[in-house]
Amino acid sequence: MATILEILKYILPSLVVLATTVYLVKAFILQEEKKNGLQLKTEAQKFSLPLRLQAYERFVLLLERLQPAGLILRTSQSGMNAASLHTALLQAIRDEYDHNLSQQLYVSSQAWELVKNMREESIKLINAASSLISPDASAAELARQILVQDMQVSNASTDQAIEFLKKEAREFFF
C-alpha cells in the first residue's frame, strides 16, 4: 500500500501538470485561430469594401440613367420614328441593367430588388406611352408621351430607391 501511495505522490502532480498544459495549449491554439480568422476577415474586407462601395455607386448611377428624360436625350437620334425610339429605349435599359448585373453580389437583397423594380417600372412606363401612339408617329411624339406619363407617375419611387441605396451604403461604410 505504501508503494502505491508513493507512486501516486509522483503520478498525481504529473497528471495535474499535464492536464493544465493541455488546457493552456488548447486555449492558446483557439485564440490563435480566432486571431487568424479575424486577420483573414480584415484582409477580405480590404479587398471587398471598395467593390461594395462601387456597387452602390453604380446602382445609384443606373437608377439616375433610367430616368426617362435623360434616357430619351441619350437615346434619341434625328430621323427616328416612335417604334425605333421605343426599341432603342428598351435596348438602352437592357444594356445599362446588364452592364451592372454582377454588382448584385455586393449589395443587400432588398437593394437589388429595388433596382430590379425600378428597371421594370421604366420599361412599363415606356411601353405604356408607346401603346398610346402609333408606331409610325415621330420619335418626338413618343418622347413627349413618355414625359407626360412620367410626370403623372411620381418620381418619388426612384428618389426613394436612391435614398435607400445611399442610406445602406452609409450604414456599411461610414
**Per-domain residue ranges for the chain?**
49-173
Burial readout 145-174 (b: 16 or more C-beta within 10 A, e: otherwise): bbeebbeeeeeeebeebbebbeebbeeeee
Instruction: Give, for all 174 residues of the chain, the pLDDT tens digit.
Output: 788 888 888 888 889 999 999 999 999 999 999 999 888 888 877 888 888 999 999 999 999 999 999 999 999 998 899 999 999 999 999 999 999 999 999 999 999 999 999 999 999 999 999 999 998 999 999 999 999 998 887 667 888 899 999 999 998 777
How far is Cα 77 from Cα 58, in angstroms, rounded to an integer? 26
The pLDDT value recorded for residue 8 is 82
Q: What is the pTM of this model?
A: 0.73
